A and B are shown apart, each in its own frame.
Chain A
Amino acid sequence: AQSVTQLGSHVSVSEGALVLLRCNYSSSVPPYLFWYVQYPNQGLQLLLKYTSAATLVKGINGFEAEFKKSETSFHLTKPSAHMSDAAEYFCAVESLAGGTSYGKLTFGQGTILTVHP
């Protein structure tokens, strides 16, 4: 069974600083990987996804993530944080082990990003 670990439940950065949110996964086969963002009392919005194409994936709002198979990681980065980036971020994995996954996602516990002026 796959699992997702997000290191750090809370991350705080200054406006303009680098954002780095960490995600490690375990899966018996190369999975599909996703980053979602959630603003308070709202649903989740997809930031970016990795589906076995380019290992460096660019998403919306200036975010990007790099799939590193050797490290089983899919860390999310943004060069310069903006106040509007304050939200909770979830890493998720869809494992294709055993054939059809039916799109089932396993989510990490989430990381709350705070941006200070």
Chain B
Amino acid sequence: SQTIHQWPATLVQPVGSPLSLECTVEGTSNPNLYWYRQAAGRGLQLLFYSVGIGQISSEVPQNLSASRPQDRQFILSSKKLLLSDSGFYLCAWRGWAHSYNEQFFGPGTRLTVL
């Protein structure tokens, strides 16, 4: 079966510090991968998506970047965090073996920037 992991689960960082959030998927190959941010009362906003290794598409101009160094690994980064980067970050994947148009979400990372 497929599983998706995110870490860390929670993170408190000072303004101006770097960020690295990691997402890995097990049990599937060549998934589409997505990063979403959920800010309080603002729903989910798609930040990045990837259809393959090294292929990253950005949906919203911002202080963040994403990378996909391996087929099932998706990383969200920032060189210098802003207060506005606080939120709940969710990684998701979509595969092709079954339920081809359903996205499966990870448990999320709660980021607080102080």
Contacts and interface: CB of A to CB of B under 8 A. Distances in A.
Interface of A: 9, 32, 34, 36, 41-46, 49, 51, 90, 92, 94, 102-110
A38 to B, nearest CB: 8
A104 B108 contact: no
B97 to A, nearest CB: 14
Interface of B: 32, 34, 36, 41-46, 49, 51, 57, 59, 88, 90, 92, 94, 101-108, 110
A32 B100 CA distance: 12
Nearest to A106: B46
A43 B108 contact: yes
Interface of B (DSSP majority class): strand
B44 A9 contact: no
Contacts of B104: 46
B106 A43 contact: yes
Contacts of A109: 41-43
A108 B94 contact: no
A40 B41 CA distance: 13
A46 B105 CA distance: 9
Nearest to A108: B43
A32 B99 CA distance: 13
